Structure 1
Amino acid sequence: QVFASTGASPIPVTVDEDGMKTELLAGIGARLAYVTPSHQFPLGGVMPITRRHQLLEWARHNSAYVIEDDYDSEYRYDINPVPPLHSLQDDGAVIYLGTISKTLSPMLRIGYLVVPPELQEVFATAKQFSDRHSPVAEQEALACLIESGGYESHVRRVRRLNGERRETLLGALRHSFGDRIAVQGAEAGLHVVVWFDELPRSRETTLVEAARGAGLGLHLISPLYERQSDEGHIDRVGLVMGYAALSIRQIEKGVEVLRAVVKQVQDALPGHGG
């Protein structure tokens, strides 16, 4: 919607477990690519180094820019970090975007951009037109925290805590649902995608309403798909489940409630013997 509001024509590119399928870029004459290679949102794929080079080669061939949204790269659990696109480029094609919302607080609306030299004046002017009142005190406090080493220590501590939350969520899901679900994107970030193999997509609304009645808020993955590409492909319910804002007990209790809600919806399916 943001890109379309400028008059641009967004072109969706299929993703898989490794993020954007960069081989599909061949023949696409776009001037800008927007990607989340460190943790594709929402499916959680981490773009391998070969695809990163392929994306940068496409950008060079088309004289295009790549926006690299590195929104939660601080959180890695079971994988080694992959160099960001920005560090792999040699021609200034990458606009690197990050935020501290995932490490300090979403209430601190502070993000940052690393842009090619020829775009610095353009971005500075656009910033002045859109927002002339960035929070100076908060930025100075953040700068002091970074310079003192306190920010790095904080990130390590938060990564450990969120790793514990993640393990709690994955363990509770395994205990409650066993092999009746598939979990995707758990290697990094602050959320996972959970596919319920025995719940058809047609029961999404029923599931959400039943969960709301039980005091549980659910986030469906289907609205995040490009409308024209997902028809006939998503045949099961998928949920985006975040865990960073919850306590261990809240996670355990939430999965217990979810298990009861899912059973309620399954029992109502035609021909179900529950």
Structure 2
Amino acid sequence: MSAKRPAPELPEPLEPLVDAHTHLDACGATDADSVRVMADRAASVGVGTIVTVADDLAAARWAVRAAHWDPRVYAAVALHPTRANALDDEAKSELERLAADPRVVAVGETGLDYYWPGKLEGCADVETQIEGFRWHIDLAKRSRKPLMIHNREADHDLLTVLLDEGAPSKVIFHCFSSDTNMALACVGEGYFLSFSGTVSFRNAHELREAAKVVPVEQILVETDAPYLTPHPFRGAPNEPYCLPYTVRALAELREQDPFELAELTTLNARRVYRV
């Protein structure tokens, strides 16, 4: 087995930036000190605000604690669609309590994932995912928080459920990975599209074309760390400090000045998350 690639070096600073979606716990943070170290490292290259996101109940509890440990960190709470089969009454009650916390800025990540059912043991089936997604949409509306969406190979059904339920006033498609048609459909509904390191992958042709058509006032940027480390560090550990690599790749793709794109995506993030 080959050794894991080393962590990327610090990029040239690019500020201001908001990492709109990351997983500090999965990056290795465990306590207030390790959260502070990661936030300091990110801040040293211009990433001054971080939204750490939950995908199960334990991660949701941790994310809220992390958001109280460091003023640069905020939280999003939900059950990932593949874990929607754990959304019992007790889980719903706790997520409602956590979503009400002032350091929680979004309900997410929730949505639909049609890739894993049948491949991943214990993965929620499609019907259960849809039911869970509907509940999270309602929670976002009741808590008056943005809805943060995970979408994998479920474009049509996801938009259908949003239309059927009535979307919250702010919807974020985290790690947007679909094509131009889907991007335009989301833009038309006023949704925000958040781009991760995948936009820097040269073989992600449809995604890269989609990134060109999104109005700048509807773009966010994220790491989704520790996953999806941008080119040329693909396969290495990701962390919020790596965000400038993605923003520069996105700016080059869209033929924009990277500093201007950084400033505009930060304004969008502050508008969406109210931070």
**TM, length-normalised to structure 1:** 0.33
Bigger Cα Rg:
1
**TM, length-normalised to structure 2:** 0.33
With CA pairs under 8 Å and 6+ residues apart, which has the higher RCO, 1 or 2?
Answer: 2
